[in-house]
Chain A
Amino acid sequence: MQHDLILRIAAKLLIPMIMLYALYVQFHGDYGPGGGFQAGVIFAVSIFLYALVFGLPAAMRVFSPTLVQALAAAGVLLYAGVGVVSMISGGNFLDYGALNPGDRALGEHIGVLLIELGVGITVAAVMIMLFYLFASPIDADDSGGH
Chain B
Amino acid sequence: MTENLLILLLLVMLIVIAVAVHRLRSLFAAAMLFGLFSLVAALAYVLLDAVDVALTEAAVGAGISTILMLSTLALTHQRTEARHRRHLAALCTVIFTGAVLLWATTDMPGFADPESPVHQHLAPYFLQESASDIGIPNAVTSILASYRGYDTLGEVVVVFTAGVAVLGLLGGRRSSGRQRREED
By a beta-carbon cutoff of 8 Å, the part of chain A in contact with chain B is: 25, 29-35, 37-38, 41-42, 44-45, 48, 65, 69, 72-73, 75-76, 79-80, 83, 93-94, 96, 104-106, 108-109, 111-112, 115-116, 118-119, 122-123, 125-127, 129-139, 142
Asked whether B145 lies within 8 Å of A38 as measured between CB atoms, the reply is no
Q: Does B159 contact A (CB under 8 A)?
A: yes
B168 nearest in chain A by CB position? A133
The residue that B75 contacts in the complex, of A32, A125, A127, A134, with Cβ under 8 A, is: A134
Given known pairs A35-B144, A130-B163, the reply for A105 and B170 (CB within 8 Å) is no
User: Would you call A73 and B160 a contact (CB within 8 A)?
Assistant: yes
Kindly identify which residue among A106, A119, A127 contacts B152, using a CB–CB cutoff of 8 Å.
A119
* B interface, CB within 8 angstroms of A: 51-52, 54-56, 59-60, 63-64, 67-68, 71-72, 75, 132-138, 140-142, 144-146, 149-150, 152-153, 156-157, 159-160, 162-164, 166-167, 170-175
Where chain A touches its partner, the secondary structure class is: helix
Is A105 a contact of B132 with CB atoms below 8 Å? yes
Determine the chain B residues whose CB is within 8 A of the CB of A93 once the complex forms: 150
Q: Are A108 and B134 in contact, CB atoms less than 8 angstroms apart?
A: yes
CA distance A126 to B162 in the complex (A): 9
Q: Knowing A31-B137, A122-B159 touch, does A45 contact B52 (C-beta < 8 A)?
A: no
Known A41-B56, A45-B59, A134-B72; judge A80-B144 contact (CB<8 A): no
